[in-house]
Amino acid sequence: MASTTHLSLWEEIAKFGVPTLARGLTDAEAVQMTERYGAHNYKPLPVNIVRGDGAEAWDGSGKRYIDCVGAYSAVAHGHLSEKVVASIHEQLERLSLTSRAFYTSEVALFMKGLAEYCDLDMVCPMNTGAEANETCIKLARKWAYTVKGVPEDQAEIIVCDGNFHGRTTTIVGFSSEPGYKKNFGPFTPGFVTAPFGDAEAFEAAITPHTAAFLVEPIQAEGGIIIPPDGWMEQVRRICDKHRVLLIWDEVQTGFCRTGRRFAWQYEDARPDLLAVGKPLGGGIMPVSAAVGRAEVMEVFKPGDHGSTFGGNPLGAVVALTALAEMELEDFAGRAVRAGERFVAGLRSLESPHIKEVRARGLLVGMEVQDEVDSYELTHNFLHFGVLTKETRHRTFRFTPPIVIEDSQVDEAVERVGMALKALV
Protein backbone atom coordinates (compact mmCIF):
# COMPACT_ATOMS: atom_id res chain seq x y z
CA MET A 1 0.00 0.00 0.00
CA ALA A 2 1.01 3.61 -0.51
CA SER A 3 0.24 4.40 3.13
CA THR A 4 2.73 4.66 5.99
CA THR A 5 2.16 2.68 9.16
CA HIS A 6 2.21 5.59 11.62
CA LEU A 7 -0.73 7.35 9.98
CA SER A 8 -4.39 6.63 10.70
CA LEU A 9 -6.64 5.76 7.78
CA TRP A 10 -8.09 9.27 7.88
CA GLU A 11 -4.65 10.84 7.79
CA GLU A 12 -3.67 8.57 4.91
CA ILE A 13 -6.78 9.69 3.02
CA ALA A 14 -5.93 13.33 3.66
CA LYS A 15 -2.33 12.83 2.54
CA PHE A 16 -2.67 10.47 -0.42
CA GLY A 17 -6.35 10.57 -1.44
CA VAL A 18 -8.64 7.54 -1.67
CA PRO A 19 -7.86 6.68 -5.33
CA THR A 20 -4.13 6.47 -4.59
CA LEU A 21 -4.71 4.35 -1.48
CA ALA A 22 -6.99 2.00 -3.42
CA ARG A 23 -4.46 1.63 -6.23
CA GLY A 24 -1.87 0.70 -3.61
CA LEU A 25 -3.82 -2.38 -2.49
CA THR A 26 -2.90 -5.72 -3.99
CA ASP A 27 -5.74 -7.91 -5.26
CA ALA A 28 -5.26 -10.21 -2.28
CA GLU A 29 -5.40 -7.31 0.16
CA ALA A 30 -8.60 -5.99 -1.40
CA VAL A 31 -10.25 -9.41 -1.14
CA GLN A 32 -9.10 -9.93 2.43
CA MET A 33 -10.25 -6.46 3.53
CA THR A 34 -13.65 -6.92 1.90
CA GLU A 35 -14.19 -10.28 3.58
CA ARG A 36 -13.06 -8.93 6.95
CA TYR A 37 -15.13 -5.74 7.04
CA GLY A 38 -17.97 -6.30 4.60
CA ALA A 39 -21.25 -8.08 5.29
CA HIS A 40 -21.28 -11.39 3.44
CA ASN A 41 -24.45 -10.75 1.44
CA TYR A 42 -22.51 -11.29 -1.79
CA LYS A 43 -20.17 -14.04 -2.88
CA PRO A 44 -17.97 -12.28 -5.44
CA LEU A 45 -15.98 -14.15 -8.03
CA PRO A 46 -12.27 -14.28 -7.10
CA VAL A 47 -11.18 -11.32 -9.19
CA ASN A 48 -10.47 -7.74 -8.08
CA ILE A 49 -11.38 -5.26 -10.81
CA VAL A 50 -9.27 -2.11 -10.67
CA ARG A 51 -9.94 -0.48 -14.05
CA GLY A 52 -12.54 -0.48 -16.81
CA ASP A 53 -12.73 0.93 -20.32
CA GLY A 54 -15.65 0.30 -22.65
CA ALA A 55 -16.39 -3.42 -22.63
CA GLU A 56 -13.08 -4.38 -21.02
CA ALA A 57 -11.82 -4.55 -17.44
CA TRP A 58 -8.52 -5.33 -15.72
CA ASP A 59 -7.50 -6.79 -12.38
CA GLY A 60 -4.59 -5.62 -10.23
CA SER A 61 -2.13 -7.93 -11.97
CA GLY A 62 -2.95 -6.38 -15.33
CA LYS A 63 -5.00 -9.29 -16.64
CA ARG A 64 -7.59 -8.17 -19.18
CA TYR A 65 -11.19 -9.39 -19.18
CA ILE A 66 -14.16 -8.91 -21.49
CA ASP A 67 -16.97 -7.76 -19.23
CA CYS A 68 -20.01 -9.84 -20.11
CA VAL A 69 -21.85 -9.00 -16.89
CA GLY A 70 -21.95 -5.26 -17.44
CA ALA A 71 -23.23 -4.78 -13.88
CA TYR A 72 -26.41 -6.67 -14.89
CA SER A 73 -27.11 -4.25 -17.78
CA ALA A 74 -26.23 -1.11 -15.80
CA VAL A 75 -23.01 -0.51 -17.76
CA ALA A 76 -24.74 -0.33 -21.14
CA HIS A 77 -22.60 2.68 -22.09
CA GLY A 78 -19.40 0.87 -21.22
CA HIS A 79 -17.03 1.63 -18.38
CA LEU A 80 -16.42 5.36 -18.08
CA SER A 81 -18.33 6.70 -21.06
CA GLU A 82 -16.52 9.86 -22.10
CA LYS A 83 -19.73 11.83 -22.55
CA VAL A 84 -21.19 10.80 -19.21
CA VAL A 85 -17.92 11.45 -17.36
CA ALA A 86 -17.61 14.88 -18.98
CA SER A 87 -21.14 15.78 -17.89
CA ILE A 88 -20.29 14.84 -14.30
CA HIS A 89 -17.18 17.00 -14.26
CA GLU A 90 -19.13 19.98 -15.58
CA GLN A 91 -22.02 19.56 -13.13
CA LEU A 92 -19.77 19.01 -10.10
CA GLU A 93 -18.48 22.54 -10.51
CA ARG A 94 -22.03 23.87 -10.10
CA LEU A 95 -24.41 21.77 -7.95
CA SER A 96 -24.75 18.15 -6.88
CA LEU A 97 -27.48 17.68 -4.24
CA THR A 98 -30.30 19.75 -2.79
CA SER A 99 -33.06 17.18 -2.08
CA ARG A 100 -36.53 17.58 -3.58
CA ALA A 101 -37.29 20.26 -1.00
CA PHE A 102 -36.42 22.72 -3.78
CA TYR A 103 -36.80 22.98 -7.53
CA THR A 104 -33.71 22.52 -9.70
CA SER A 105 -33.36 23.10 -13.44
CA GLU A 106 -31.48 19.85 -13.98
CA VAL A 107 -34.20 17.71 -12.40
CA ALA A 108 -36.87 19.59 -14.34
CA LEU A 109 -35.12 18.71 -17.62
CA PHE A 110 -34.61 15.12 -16.46
CA MET A 111 -38.28 14.53 -15.71
CA LYS A 112 -39.33 16.04 -19.05
CA GLY A 113 -36.72 14.05 -20.96
CA LEU A 114 -37.46 10.72 -19.30
CA ALA A 115 -41.23 11.10 -19.65
CA GLU A 116 -40.85 11.82 -23.37
CA TYR A 117 -38.36 8.98 -23.86
CA CYS A 118 -40.79 6.54 -22.21
CA ASP A 119 -43.82 7.99 -24.04
CA LEU A 120 -45.56 8.47 -20.69
CA ASP A 121 -46.72 11.49 -18.73
CA MET A 122 -44.97 11.89 -15.40
CA VAL A 123 -41.87 10.78 -13.50
CA CYS A 124 -41.09 10.03 -9.85
CA PRO A 125 -37.27 9.97 -9.58
CA MET A 126 -35.61 7.44 -7.29
CA ASN A 127 -32.20 5.75 -7.04
CA THR A 128 -32.31 1.97 -7.35
CA GLY A 129 -34.44 -0.49 -9.29
CA ALA A 130 -35.97 -1.84 -6.10
CA GLU A 131 -37.00 1.69 -5.12
CA ALA A 132 -38.60 2.19 -8.53
CA ASN A 133 -40.64 -0.98 -8.07
CA GLU A 134 -41.60 -0.07 -4.50
CA THR A 135 -42.77 3.30 -5.83
CA CYS A 136 -44.92 1.55 -8.45
CA ILE A 137 -46.42 -0.67 -5.75
CA LYS A 138 -47.39 2.36 -3.64
CA LEU A 139 -48.83 4.16 -6.65
CA ALA A 140 -50.87 1.12 -7.67
CA ARG A 141 -52.29 0.62 -4.21
CA LYS A 142 -53.26 4.25 -3.73
CA TRP A 143 -54.81 4.32 -7.21
CA ALA A 144 -56.82 1.20 -6.31
CA TYR A 145 -58.24 2.85 -3.18
CA THR A 146 -58.76 6.40 -4.44
CA VAL A 147 -59.70 5.80 -8.08
CA LYS A 148 -60.86 2.23 -8.62
CA GLY A 149 -62.69 1.99 -5.30
CA VAL A 150 -61.05 -1.10 -3.79
CA PRO A 151 -61.85 -1.34 -0.04
CA GLU A 152 -59.07 0.01 2.17
CA ASP A 153 -56.17 -2.40 2.81
CA GLN A 154 -57.60 -5.07 0.50
CA ALA A 155 -55.76 -4.25 -2.74
CA GLU A 156 -53.98 -7.12 -4.47
CA ILE A 157 -51.12 -7.06 -6.95
CA ILE A 158 -50.50 -10.04 -9.21
CA VAL A 159 -46.88 -11.08 -9.78
CA CYS A 160 -45.27 -14.02 -11.58
CA ASP A 161 -43.43 -17.18 -10.63
CA GLY A 162 -39.70 -16.71 -11.11
CA ASN A 163 -39.93 -12.94 -10.67
CA PHE A 164 -37.14 -10.65 -9.57
CA HIS A 165 -38.01 -7.07 -8.65
CA GLY A 166 -35.41 -6.27 -5.98
CA ARG A 167 -34.39 -7.17 -2.44
CA THR A 168 -36.58 -5.14 -0.08
CA THR A 169 -38.62 -7.07 2.49
CA THR A 170 -41.84 -6.37 0.59
CA ILE A 171 -40.41 -7.59 -2.70
CA VAL A 172 -38.66 -10.73 -1.43
CA GLY A 173 -41.91 -11.63 0.30
CA PHE A 174 -43.53 -12.39 -3.06
CA SER A 175 -40.46 -14.02 -4.60
CA SER A 176 -40.73 -17.68 -5.56
CA GLU A 177 -37.05 -18.24 -4.67
CA PRO A 178 -36.86 -19.71 -1.14
CA GLY A 179 -33.32 -18.43 -0.65
CA TYR A 180 -34.40 -14.83 -1.14
CA LYS A 181 -37.01 -14.92 1.61
CA LYS A 182 -35.90 -17.48 4.24
CA ASN A 183 -35.54 -15.89 7.70
CA PHE A 184 -36.73 -12.46 6.50
CA GLY A 185 -40.46 -12.73 7.29
CA PRO A 186 -43.13 -11.88 8.18
CA PHE A 187 -43.95 -10.49 4.77
CA THR A 188 -46.31 -7.89 3.39
CA PRO A 189 -49.66 -9.35 2.28
CA GLY A 190 -51.53 -8.41 -0.85
CA PHE A 191 -49.63 -10.28 -3.57
CA VAL A 192 -50.94 -13.13 -5.73
CA THR A 193 -48.69 -15.28 -7.92
CA ALA A 194 -49.45 -16.52 -11.43
CA PRO A 195 -47.32 -18.45 -13.95
CA PHE A 196 -45.12 -16.31 -16.20
CA GLY A 197 -46.21 -16.19 -19.83
CA ASP A 198 -49.68 -17.65 -19.21
CA ALA A 199 -52.35 -15.08 -20.05
CA GLU A 200 -55.27 -17.34 -19.09
CA ALA A 201 -53.80 -18.03 -15.65
CA PHE A 202 -53.22 -14.31 -15.16
CA GLU A 203 -56.83 -13.46 -15.99
CA ALA A 204 -58.08 -16.23 -13.69
CA ALA A 205 -56.14 -14.67 -10.80
CA ILE A 206 -57.89 -11.31 -11.13
CA THR A 207 -60.51 -10.35 -8.54
CA PRO A 208 -62.43 -7.13 -7.89
CA HIS A 209 -59.60 -6.24 -5.48
CA THR A 210 -56.85 -6.54 -8.07
CA ALA A 211 -54.97 -3.26 -8.43
CA ALA A 212 -52.15 -4.17 -10.81
CA PHE A 213 -50.04 -6.72 -12.58
CA LEU A 214 -46.32 -6.23 -11.79
CA VAL A 215 -44.18 -8.19 -14.23
CA GLU A 216 -40.97 -8.28 -16.25
CA PRO A 217 -41.40 -8.50 -20.04
CA ILE A 218 -38.45 -10.93 -19.98
CA GLN A 219 -37.28 -12.59 -16.79
CA ALA A 220 -33.60 -11.66 -16.83
CA GLU A 221 -32.61 -12.76 -13.32
CA GLY A 222 -34.86 -15.77 -13.78
CA GLY A 223 -32.62 -17.11 -16.55
CA ILE A 224 -33.45 -15.04 -19.68
CA ILE A 225 -36.97 -16.47 -19.86
CA ILE A 226 -38.80 -15.05 -22.89
CA PRO A 227 -42.61 -15.28 -22.91
CA PRO A 228 -44.62 -16.60 -25.89
CA ASP A 229 -45.23 -14.19 -28.75
CA GLY A 230 -48.41 -12.21 -28.21
CA TRP A 231 -48.45 -12.65 -24.44
CA MET A 232 -47.61 -9.03 -23.63
CA GLU A 233 -50.38 -7.80 -25.90
CA GLN A 234 -52.84 -10.25 -24.33
CA VAL A 235 -51.88 -9.01 -20.89
CA ARG A 236 -52.54 -5.41 -21.93
CA ARG A 237 -56.02 -6.28 -23.21
CA ILE A 238 -56.84 -8.26 -20.05
CA CYS A 239 -55.76 -5.35 -17.85
CA ASP A 240 -57.98 -2.98 -19.85
CA LYS A 241 -60.91 -5.39 -19.60
CA HIS A 242 -60.72 -5.67 -15.81
CA ARG A 243 -59.45 -2.15 -15.04
CA VAL A 244 -56.13 -3.39 -13.72
CA LEU A 245 -52.89 -1.41 -13.98
CA LEU A 246 -50.10 -2.91 -16.06
CA ILE A 247 -46.67 -2.33 -14.51
CA TRP A 248 -43.66 -3.37 -16.58
CA ASP A 249 -40.45 -3.77 -14.61
CA GLU A 250 -37.83 -2.81 -17.20
CA VAL A 251 -34.99 -2.17 -14.76
CA GLN A 252 -32.82 -4.80 -16.49
CA THR A 253 -34.49 -5.04 -19.90
CA GLY A 254 -35.02 -1.35 -20.55
CA PHE A 255 -33.05 1.29 -22.42
CA CYS A 256 -32.24 -0.61 -25.62
CA ARG A 257 -30.89 -3.82 -24.05
CA THR A 258 -33.36 -5.97 -25.98
CA GLY A 259 -33.17 -4.04 -29.26
CA ARG A 260 -36.00 -1.62 -28.51
CA ARG A 261 -36.09 1.29 -26.10
CA PHE A 262 -38.13 -1.05 -23.93
CA ALA A 263 -38.89 -4.75 -24.29
CA TRP A 264 -42.66 -4.15 -24.10
CA GLN A 265 -42.41 -2.31 -27.42
CA TYR A 266 -42.11 -5.60 -29.31
CA GLU A 267 -45.90 -5.72 -28.93
CA ASP A 268 -48.81 -3.34 -28.36
CA ALA A 269 -48.43 -3.44 -24.59
CA ARG A 270 -47.99 0.14 -23.36
CA PRO A 271 -47.82 0.21 -19.55
CA ASP A 272 -49.68 2.30 -17.02
CA LEU A 273 -46.55 2.34 -14.88
CA LEU A 274 -42.94 1.62 -15.82
CA ALA A 275 -40.07 0.90 -13.42
CA VAL A 276 -36.69 1.88 -14.87
CA GLY A 277 -33.14 2.09 -13.59
CA LYS A 278 -29.69 0.53 -14.14
CA PRO A 279 -28.51 1.98 -17.53
CA LEU A 280 -30.22 5.26 -16.66
CA GLY A 281 -27.20 6.00 -14.45
CA GLY A 282 -24.81 5.79 -17.40
CA GLY A 283 -22.73 3.15 -15.64
CA ILE A 284 -21.67 5.78 -13.11
CA MET A 285 -24.24 6.16 -10.34
CA PRO A 286 -27.68 4.86 -9.29
CA VAL A 287 -30.59 6.60 -11.00
CA SER A 288 -34.06 5.09 -11.27
CA ALA A 289 -37.67 6.19 -11.59
CA ALA A 290 -41.29 5.18 -11.69
CA VAL A 291 -42.79 6.60 -14.88
CA GLY A 292 -46.48 6.49 -15.71
CA ARG A 293 -49.75 7.85 -16.96
CA ALA A 294 -50.97 11.03 -15.31
CA GLU A 295 -54.13 9.38 -13.97
CA VAL A 296 -51.98 7.07 -11.84
CA MET A 297 -49.04 9.33 -11.02
CA GLU A 298 -51.30 12.12 -9.77
CA VAL A 299 -52.58 10.04 -6.85
CA PHE A 300 -49.35 10.95 -5.05
CA LYS A 301 -49.75 14.06 -2.89
CA PRO A 302 -47.01 15.94 -0.99
CA GLY A 303 -45.70 13.72 1.80
CA ASP A 304 -46.87 10.43 0.26
CA HIS A 305 -43.43 9.39 -0.95
CA GLY A 306 -39.89 10.67 -1.18
CA SER A 307 -36.15 10.13 -1.31
CA THR A 308 -33.29 12.38 -0.20
CA PHE A 309 -31.15 11.48 -3.21
CA GLY A 310 -33.93 10.58 -5.65
CA GLY A 311 -34.01 13.37 -8.21
CA ASN A 312 -30.68 15.03 -7.46
CA PRO A 313 -29.11 17.45 -9.97
CA LEU A 314 -25.98 15.36 -10.53
CA GLY A 315 -27.96 12.17 -11.19
CA ALA A 316 -30.32 14.10 -13.46
CA VAL A 317 -27.44 15.34 -15.62
CA VAL A 318 -25.93 11.86 -15.80
CA ALA A 319 -29.27 10.30 -16.78
CA LEU A 320 -30.05 12.86 -19.48
CA THR A 321 -26.58 12.47 -20.96
CA ALA A 322 -26.99 8.70 -20.88
CA LEU A 323 -30.39 8.92 -22.59
CA ALA A 324 -29.03 11.20 -25.29
CA GLU A 325 -26.15 8.82 -25.99
CA MET A 326 -28.54 5.86 -26.19
CA GLU A 327 -30.68 7.69 -28.73
CA LEU A 328 -28.07 9.42 -30.87
CA GLU A 329 -25.69 6.45 -30.98
CA ASP A 330 -28.49 4.00 -31.91
CA PHE A 331 -28.07 1.73 -28.89
CA ALA A 332 -31.16 -0.24 -29.90
CA GLY A 333 -29.72 -1.07 -33.31
CA ARG A 334 -26.32 -1.85 -31.81
CA ALA A 335 -27.91 -4.23 -29.31
CA VAL A 336 -29.69 -6.09 -32.11
CA ARG A 337 -26.54 -6.45 -34.21
CA ALA A 338 -24.24 -7.39 -31.33
CA GLY A 339 -26.82 -9.80 -29.92
CA GLU A 340 -27.27 -11.58 -33.24
CA ARG A 341 -23.50 -11.88 -33.59
CA PHE A 342 -23.13 -13.19 -30.02
CA VAL A 343 -25.90 -15.77 -30.39
CA ALA A 344 -24.65 -16.97 -33.78
CA GLY A 345 -21.17 -17.33 -32.31
CA LEU A 346 -22.33 -19.34 -29.30
CA ARG A 347 -24.39 -21.66 -31.47
CA SER A 348 -21.52 -22.13 -33.90
CA LEU A 349 -19.44 -23.58 -31.07
CA GLU A 350 -21.66 -26.68 -31.28
CA SER A 351 -20.61 -27.55 -27.75
CA PRO A 352 -22.27 -30.62 -26.24
CA HIS A 353 -22.27 -28.72 -22.93
CA ILE A 354 -24.71 -26.07 -24.22
CA LYS A 355 -28.36 -26.98 -23.75
CA GLU A 356 -29.95 -23.82 -25.16
CA VAL A 357 -29.16 -20.24 -26.08
CA ARG A 358 -31.96 -17.70 -25.45
CA ALA A 359 -31.77 -14.06 -26.38
CA ARG A 360 -33.49 -10.85 -27.29
CA GLY A 361 -31.15 -8.14 -28.44
CA LEU A 362 -28.03 -8.16 -26.30
CA LEU A 363 -29.75 -9.92 -23.41
CA VAL A 364 -28.27 -13.38 -23.93
CA GLY A 365 -28.59 -16.50 -21.81
CA MET A 366 -26.60 -19.71 -22.32
CA GLU A 367 -28.14 -22.63 -20.44
CA VAL A 368 -25.77 -25.55 -19.85
CA GLN A 369 -26.55 -29.25 -19.56
CA ASP A 370 -27.45 -30.69 -16.17
CA GLU A 371 -24.21 -32.64 -15.89
CA VAL A 372 -22.02 -29.54 -16.34
CA ASP A 373 -20.22 -28.38 -13.18
CA SER A 374 -21.30 -24.74 -13.36
CA TYR A 375 -18.88 -23.78 -10.56
CA GLU A 376 -16.00 -25.14 -12.60
CA LEU A 377 -17.27 -23.43 -15.74
CA THR A 378 -17.52 -20.09 -13.95
CA HIS A 379 -13.87 -20.31 -12.98
CA ASN A 380 -12.93 -21.45 -16.47
CA PHE A 381 -14.52 -18.28 -17.78
CA LEU A 382 -12.37 -16.23 -15.41
CA HIS A 383 -9.24 -18.15 -16.41
CA PHE A 384 -9.88 -17.34 -20.06
CA GLY A 385 -10.74 -13.71 -19.33
CA VAL A 386 -14.54 -13.59 -19.52
CA LEU A 387 -16.60 -11.99 -16.74
CA THR A 388 -20.00 -13.63 -16.39
CA LYS A 389 -22.05 -15.30 -13.67
CA GLU A 390 -24.63 -18.04 -13.48
CA THR A 391 -28.21 -17.07 -12.86
CA ARG A 392 -31.16 -19.40 -12.33
CA HIS A 393 -31.85 -22.49 -14.44
CA ARG A 394 -28.10 -23.14 -14.90
CA THR A 395 -27.99 -20.20 -17.27
CA PHE A 396 -25.00 -17.93 -17.79
CA ARG A 397 -26.05 -14.39 -18.57
CA PHE A 398 -24.20 -12.34 -21.16
CA THR A 399 -25.13 -8.66 -20.90
CA PRO A 400 -21.98 -6.83 -21.98
CA PRO A 401 -21.97 -3.09 -22.60
CA ILE A 402 -24.03 -2.25 -25.67
CA VAL A 403 -20.98 -0.38 -26.99
CA ILE A 404 -19.08 -3.67 -27.33
CA GLU A 405 -17.22 -3.94 -30.66
CA ASP A 406 -17.65 -6.81 -33.12
CA SER A 407 -14.08 -7.93 -32.50
CA GLN A 408 -14.75 -8.07 -28.77
CA VAL A 409 -17.91 -10.13 -29.33
CA ASP A 410 -15.91 -12.59 -31.43
CA GLU A 411 -13.15 -12.73 -28.84
CA ALA A 412 -15.66 -13.32 -26.04
CA VAL A 413 -17.26 -16.19 -27.99
CA GLU A 414 -13.85 -17.72 -28.67
CA ARG A 415 -13.00 -17.56 -24.97
CA VAL A 416 -16.36 -19.08 -24.03
CA GLY A 417 -15.55 -21.96 -26.35
CA MET A 418 -12.17 -22.44 -24.69
CA ALA A 419 -13.80 -22.45 -21.25
CA LEU A 420 -16.33 -25.08 -22.35
CA LYS A 421 -13.63 -27.28 -23.89
CA ALA A 422 -11.62 -27.08 -20.67
CA LEU A 423 -14.39 -28.71 -18.62
CA VAL A 424 -13.23 -31.92 -16.99
* Mean per-residue pLDDT, 283-299: 98
Segment 353-364, tens digit of pLDDT: 999 999 999 999
- Name the pTM for this structure: 0.96
Q: Any idea of the CA torsion for 313, 276, 113, 244, to the nearest 10 degrees?
A: -130
Q: From 305, 328, 351, give the residue that closes a domain.
A: 328
Diameter of the chain measured on Cα atoms: 71
Q: Which among 280, 256, 289 has a CA at the least distance from the CA of 131? A: 289
Q: From 266, 297, 328, give the residue that closes a domain.
A: 328
Question: Is there a domain that residue 11 lies in?
Answer: no
Provide the percentage of residues in the chain whose pLDDT is more than 70. Answer: 99
Q: 378 and 249, same structural domain?
A: no
Q: 248 and 172, same structural domain?
A: yes
Question: Is there a domain that residue 408 lies in?
Answer: yes
Q: 318 and 239, same structural domain?
A: yes
Q: 350 and 221, same structural domain?
A: no
Q: How far apart are CA 124 and CA 10, in angstroms?
A: 37
Checking if the pLDDT of 4 tops 70, the result is no
Q: Which among 358, 345, 368, 312 has a CA at the least distance from the CA of 415? A: 345
Q: How far apart are CA 124 and CA 112, in angstroms?
A: 11
Q: 201 and 105, same structural domain?
A: yes
**Which domain does 303 fall in, by range?**
83-328
Give the per-residue pLDDT at 91.
Answer: 98
Question: Is there a domain that residue 4 lies in?
Answer: no
Give the per-residue pLDDT at 393.
Answer: 82
Checking if the pLDDT of 2 tops 90, the result is no
Checking if the pLDDT of 305 tops 60, the result is yes
Alpha-carbon separation of residue 150 from 49, 77, 184 (angstroms): 50, 43, 29
Q: 416 and 345, same structural domain?
A: yes
- Name which residue leads in pLDDT, 3 or 94: 94
What does pLDDT average to over the chain? 97
* Mean per-residue pLDDT, 192-199: 98
Q: 236 and 166, same structural domain?
A: yes
DSSP 3-state assignment of 160?
strand
Question: Is there a domain that residue 8 lies in?
Answer: no
Question: Is there a domain that residue 36 lies in?
Answer: no
Confidence of residue 3 (pLDDT cuts 50, 70, 90): very low
Domain at 63, CATH number: 3.90.1150.10
Segment 123-178, tens digit of pLDDT: 999 999 999 999 999 999 999 999 999 999 999 999 999 999 999 999 999 999 99
Q: From 328, 351, 384, give the residue that closes a domain.
A: 328
Domain at 145, CATH number: 3.40.640.10
Q: 292 and 185, same structural domain?
A: yes
Q: 179 and 94, same structural domain?
A: yes
Question: Is there a domain that residue 18 lies in?
Answer: no
Number of domains in the chain: 2
Neighbours of 30 (CB within 10 A): 16
Give the per-residue pLDDT at 5.
Answer: 62
Q: 342 and 321, same structural domain?
A: no
Checking if the pLDDT of 183 tops 50, the result is yes
Question: Is there a domain that residue 278 lies in?
Answer: yes
- Would you name the residues annotated as active-site residues? 164, 249, 278
For residues 23 and 2, the answer to whether their CB atoms sit within 8 Å is yes
Q: 375 and 342, same structural domain?
A: yes
Checking if the pLDDT of 413 tops 70, the result is yes
Q: 176 and 238, same structural domain?
A: yes
Phi, psi of 288 (to 5 degrees): -145, 175
